[in-house]
Structure 1
Amino acid sequence: MSCIFCDLQKQPELVLWDDEYSYLIVDIGPLSRGHLLLIPKEHTEYMHELNDLTLSKMLINIKNIVLKLGYDKYNLLQNNGH
């Protein structure tokens, strides 16, 4: 299956981090400074459809990314559906 996010993942200049469950990319149309997207590799339309392992790994990844980037303030937004 291919999607816009899979296509973006193939652009190494956008990918900041990648693992078995998700990847972090720079948003190509940022709404704010530091706007990043953590994208699951598992294709689902809704977050509640992700398997538990993927979902838990993504939350751990968010924590690690925030710590690594040294953010003391940040927003987490999540979109479901089209």
Structure 2
Amino acid sequence: MRDENCIFCKIIAGEIPSNTIYEDDEFKVVLDVSPASKGHALILPKNHYADLYEIDENVAADAMKLAKKLAIHMTDVLKCDGFNLVQNNHEVAGQTVFHFHMHLIPRYLNAKNNDILNWSHETFSPEEMAEIRDSLKMQS
């Protein structure tokens, strides 16, 4: 399944050139054209899913398995000091291309962009935390 208007679908189809670092029947992994760090890559499922809410759960599980393999490989090759795995859903959360993708971001000590994932922490009272907890509880 493909979205004709999706830039990632076009990259997967080879209509737009990319720096591909991995490809199999289910995924294509490319270097990000606007990287946050050396080696920043994107895991793209070959089938189009807009976001985490739409992606098939087996494909999502396979994406995470691939992310682990790539993080280990990239850490070894690039000698990075840490790693971020980022996956945004909806515009308010920073999603700019509406094709599910995972960012693999190698992190280096003393590099620029070391604050890329910082945020201000919020404070909730114990009562508010209990209310939030109770509202989110799910059965396994």
**The TM-score by the shorter chain falls in which range?**
0.7 to 0.9
Q: 1:8 aligns with which of 7, 11, 18?
A: 11
TM-score (norm 1): 0.82
Highest RCO, 1 vs 2 (Cα 8 Å, sep ≥ 6): 2
8 Å CA contact 1:16, 1:24 repeated in 2? yes
Q: Structure 2: which 5+ runs fail to align?
A: 92-140
Q: Which runs of 4+ in 1 moved over 4 A?
A: none
8 Å CA contact 1:45, 1:81 repeated in 2? no
Give, in whole Å, the separation in 2 of the partners of 1:47 and 1:23.
17
8 Å CA contact 1:14, 1:25 repeated in 2? yes
Give, in whole Å, the separation in 1 of the partners of 2:44 and 2:81.
22
Q: Structure 1: which 5+ runs fail to align?
A: none
TM-score (norm 2): 0.51
Count of aligned residue pairs for this structure pair: 81
8 Å CA contact 1:47, 1:80 repeated in 2? yes
Over the residues paired in the alignment, what is the CA RMSD in angstroms? 1.8
